[in-house]
Structure 1
Amino acid sequence: MRVYLPCTIPALARAAETGEVGPAPLTGFAVTPSLTEWYASGDTEELEYVALTEAARASLRMLAADRADGVVAPGRRVVIAADVPDDIVVAGAALEERARVRLREAVPMAKVAAVHVDDRFAARDIEEAVVALPAADQGDDDAKFTVDGAEAHELLWYATQEIPDILEDVRHD
């Protein structure tokens, strides 16, 4: 099963260093039966895009959490796409989280198919969205608009062998 794992640049660096995305349990997003039923007219590619988008939103929240914990993290969303065995994936039960899954095991980097990362031009909007998240969660329409502005940026696709280049590129921002 293809899963999309929300991440941050520091977490991607740890995964590259340790050889796995973890520790388990991990929250991810995938084309679940609930998502397929809800999005009845979509093909697999469209459903995977929905799961990727949900993971990107979760990455934004992870970035905010890192910052709250004092972690220095560049303003870029990161999503790791991995192909994992179905038996380690448990679909979420909540209707509002149709694409959410839990992974029972860490994911070896050998199972990673690609990495999706914001380009440097998105950084300002990502930074503003991180600041606006608490107000957006409280229903502030202006803050929601700011968060939506960050989500309007498309993530770039990178092959796994490009991960060192991503990490090096971000160090020079």
Structure 2
Amino acid sequence: MRVYVPLTLPLLARVREEGGIGPSPVTAYAVTPALREWYLSGNEEELEYAALSRAAQASLRLLAMAPEVDRRRVVVAADVPDRAAVADPDRALEPDALGEVRIDEVIPLAALAAVHVDAPDADEDIAAAAAAVGAADLGDDDARFTVDGAADHELLWYGVQEIDGLV
């Protein structure tokens, strides 16, 4: 199963140093039955993009909790055994948990398929979105608009062999 793990650049550096994503449990996003149901229509590629987008939102939340790190969202795509990715049935239909899975093992570097990172020119918008996340969660429409603006920036694709250059 392809999963998308939200990170930041310092966390990506740690993944490289430690040889995998962990410790477990690891929160990731994938095409779950709830995500399929939510989309109703859409091919597999569109569903994968939706899971990637959910992980990018989670990366933005990580940035909001770490104001000292580079303002670039990072999502790592990895292939894990189907049995390894488990959706919480109690949260599966909650809007903020769509596509969320828990992986109860370390994801080794060998399982990584790609890295998705914001372009450097997105820093200003991503910084504003990360600063606005808390207010958006409390219902501030202007903050929600700012947070939604982060989605205007497509994440760039990098091969796993390019991690050294990214960090």
Structure 2 equivalent of residue 155 of structure 1:
155
Cα offsets for 1:76-102 (capped at 9, x unmatched): 000000000111111132202221100
Please show how residues 74-93 of structure 1 align to structure 2 within 5 Å. 74-93=70-89
- Distance in 1 (CA, whole Å) between partners of 2:34 and 2:150 is 27
- Distance in 2 (CA, whole Å) between partners of 1:6 and 1:37 is 23
Q: When the two structures are aligned, how many residues end up with a matched partner?
A: 163
Structure 2 equivalent of residue 171 of structure 1:
none
Query: Which TM-score applies when normalising by structure 2?
Result: 0.94
The SS at the match of 1:12 is helix
Gaps of 5+ in 2: none
Query: Which TM-score applies when normalising by structure 1?
Result: 0.91
1:26 alignment partner AA = V
Identity of aligned residues (%): 57
Instruction: Report how far residue 58 of structure 1 moved.
Output: 0.1
The SS at the match of 2:66 is helix
Moved over 3 A (4+): none
Please show how residues 1-173 of structure 1 align to structure 2 within 5 Å. 1-67=1-67, 72-93=68-89, 94=91, 95=93, 96=95, 97-167=97-167
Gaps of 5+ in 1: 168-173
C-alpha RMSD of the superposition: 0.9
Cα offsets for 1:50-99 (capped at 9, x unmatched): 000000000000111123xxxx3100000000000111111132202221
Instruction: Report how far residue 133 of structure 1 moved.
Output: 1.1
Instruction: Report how far residue 145 of structure 1 moved.
Output: 0.8
